[in-house]
Amino acid sequence: MKRYSKAKVCMVGAILLSGLAGQAIRADTIVTVESGLAILADVNGDTSAPEALSVCYQVTEDLNTDIYTYSYDISNPTGDQVLGGQNTGASEIVDTFKIAFDADAPGAYISGSATGGVLGAILVGADSNGLSWFIPSPYIAAGQSNTVTFESYLSPVAGLATAQDANPPSPWTSYPNGNPVPVPGPDATSTLALLGGVMALLPFGSALKKK
């Protein structure tokens, strides 16, 4: 049972990535909002390498533009194998990655901002189900990883992710045995502000009635 102990590596990677991104624009305007490592369990509920996948995630915010950049580095462990069917024993690949949120909501997904990493993942879906990337050949082979990104005006909340291959033990999921990843959530700040505004007006409404 090889347990994932990549959290530190993931964090260091996130810091380096943040630093590079900051240098490219202005170091003092890009802040890391959230970063970490999530496990996507296989269909059998296995959360350990080499059958489970890991997703190293990071969310940064550009304080000048209020744009959040979400990035997910999907890692397929060395030794991941097909467990069943004609391809049993073959090296397992990953060809699809998805995250769930309402990408149609205002500001949730900045159209055209998705990137596919070195393997050229293609955004094939952006709708109320979320975002879906198809990773063409050579896919994410065992021992490889690929980073996908996109931009949003919404801050992160905990969400779900899935990944897929044609062969078992695919698919891999955050729920119920894996971990959540950050996804753009409802704009809690503006909702609270609206609620606060209404509450603030209530006393004036009472005063008006008294008069």
Binding positions for other proteins, rule: CB under 8 A? 41, 43-45, 82-87, 90, 93, 95-96, 98-100, 124-125, 127, 129-132, 134, 136-137, 139, 160-173, 175-177
**Beta bridge partners of residue 140, listed in sequence order:** 94
Least distance (Å) between residue 66 CB and other proteins = 25
Contact partners, residue 72, CB within 8 Å, separation at least 6: 55, 56, 57, 97, 99, 147, 148, 149, 161, 181
Taking the least distance from each CB to other proteins, the nearer of 30 and 99 is 99
Least distance (Å) between residue 166 CB and other proteins = 3
Taking the least distance from each CB to other proteins, the nearer of 113 and 129 is 129
Taking the least distance from each CB to other proteins, the nearer of 14 and 135 is 135
Contact partners, residue 185, CB within 8 Å, separation at least 6: 101, 154, 155, 156, 157, 159
Q: Answer yes or no: are the C-beta atoms of 110 and 151 closer than 8 Å.
A: yes
- Tokens coding 131: 């975002």
What span, in angstroms and rounded, lies between the C-alpha atoms of 56 and 182?
Answer: 11
Least distance (Å) between residue 58 CB and other proteins = 20
Least distance (Å) between residue 185 CB and other proteins = 15
- Tokens coding 140: 């994410």
Taking the least distance from each CB to other proteins, the nearer of 45 and 196 is 45
